[in-house]
Amino acid sequence: MRASLLIAGLIAMLASAVWAEGQGGLGPVIPEATGKAHPEGNDYMRRWHMSMMRHDRDVTMYEGKRDQNASLGGCFECHAAKDETGTPVTYADARHFCRSCHDFVAVRVDCFDCHRSTPEGVEEPPAHAALGGVLSPSLGADVGALVAYLGAWEVGQ
């Protein structure tokens, strides 16, 4: 009992140390952001970012107040993770800012079915679309491949 508590405590300490650094180890690799840090602090943003965006989206859509603090577009002004060429990556890329944590916790957010995942003006290649839905990226992109897959499955039965 005491040993298991000790181990649990040790894991928690390790995890929190990694989380505090935010890079490597057991925790997710969080891409560097540009711009000023959030005045609320990173812990607050990690806990509440979804609530902030949900509240502000409703205010924007129903009441037409478009000068909100929290918006998905606003996130990407600072949180646009870039590839080797310096181009911001789309949600299809595992290095995307949102995916760095959401992949870690095995959550697929569907924000980017409708919202663009790059700053305005940065092209999202067609491969980005293939990410949607429950199909694997290669099948989702190609209806022919899907039909072939289903045909093969039928024959296999």
Partner 1 sequence: MSCGAKKDVSRRDFLRSGAALATMQLAPGVTLMAFGGSEAQAAADAGKRWGLLIDASKCAPDCNACITACQDENGWKGSGNAETDVQWIRKVTLKDKSSGRETSLPVMCQHCESPPCVDVCPTGASFKRKDGIVLVDKHICIGCRYCMMACPFKARSFVHEHVTNQKTHAPRGIGTVESCTLCVHRVDEGRIPACVEACEATGHGAMVFGDLLDPESEISRRLAEYPSVALRPDLDLNPGVRYREI
Write out the residues near partner 1 by the rule CB under 8 A: 57, 61-67, 72-73, 113-116, 120, 123-126, 128-130, 132-133, 140
Q: Is the CB of 25 or the CB of 55 nearer to partner 1?
A: 55
Are the beta carbons of 147 and 153 closer than 8 angstroms? no
The CB-of-128 to partner 1 minimum distance in angstroms stands at 5
The CB-of-97 to partner 1 minimum distance in angstroms stands at 16
Instruction: Report which of 95, 63, 92 is spatially closest to residue 79, judged by C-alpha positions.
Output: 95
The CB-of-151 to partner 1 minimum distance in angstroms stands at 22
Task: Give φ, ψ of 145 to 5 degrees.
Answer: -65, -35
Are the beta carbons of 33 and 78 closer than 8 angstroms? yes
Q: Is the CB of 100 or the CB of 117 nearer to partner 1?
A: 117
Q: Exposed (0-12), middle (13-18) or buried (19+): which is 1, by Cβ within 10 Å?
A: exposed
Q: Is the CB of 31 or the CB of 132 nearer to partner 1?
A: 132
Q: Is the CB of 22 or the CB of 119 nearer to partner 1?
A: 119
CA distance 15 to 142: 41
Are the beta carbons of 145 and 134 closer than 8 angstroms? no
Q: Is the CB of 96 or the CB of 116 nearer to partner 1?
A: 116
In the structure encoding, which two tokens stand for residue 69, read together?
């603090």
CA distance 73 to 78: 10
